[in-house]
Structure 1
Amino acid sequence: MTAKKKTLRCPTCSTLVTAKDADFPFCSDRCRKIDLGKWASGAYKISSPVVDPEVLEGLSEQARSNRSNDDE
């Protein structure tokens, strides 16, 4: 059996990149720096927060507690 090479596209310029390339997953240091600049400037955003279900439960209990204190 031959091993299949894993290839991806550079997230900046879409050039094909293999896992063995020095700048993987980018095609070059330039593309890596462009991507870093986008993160630093706020161009990239996480669409929804990743929250632990236990944290959500604690927040909802706290909100209920705050509402009952406001009613008093």
Structure 2
Amino acid sequence: MKVQCPTCQTQVVWDTTSEYRPFCSKRCQLIDLGGWANEENSIAAGSDKENEMASSLDIEDIEALLSQQEPDFFKAN
């Protein structure tokens, strides 16, 4: 199967031999990473209601929510 490199649109074979898939090269991979680092790329947020709730929580609310978790919640698997 072939896909287009998200950076330069070159055709890339999509299989385990493609080291940088979905990118065609390390260069294109780093260009994309730079876009994320410079906040040029983003993932769309959920509804405004979810964002409002997240921004309205203060440290006490967060601590209260964490205290309600099971005792082994923070243990690594």
SS at match of 1:8: strand
SS at match of 1:44: coil
Listed one character per residue, the Cα deviations across residues 33-67 of structure 1 (whole Å, up to 9, x for unaligned) are 000000010001223327xxxxx5xx5xxxxxxxx
Unaligned runs of 5+ in 2: 54-77
The percent identity for this pair of structures is 40
> Matched residues in 2 for 1:49 and 1:40: separation?
21
**Does the alignment pair 1:29 with 2:32?**
no
Listed one character per residue, the Cα deviations across residues 4-60 of structure 1 (whole Å, up to 9, x for unaligned) are xx111000000000113221100000000000000010001223327xxxxx5xx5x
Moved over 4 A (4+): none
> Matched residues in 2 for 1:27 and 1:46: separation?
22
* TM-score when normalising by structure 1: 0.57
> Matched residues in 1 for 2:44 and 2:29: separation?
22
* TM-score when normalising by structure 2: 0.54
Bigger helix fraction: 1
Unaligned runs of 5+ in 1: 1-5, 51-55, 60-72
The number of aligned residues is 48
SS at match of 1:11: coil
Instruction: Note the aligned Cα RMSD (angstroms).
Output: 2.1
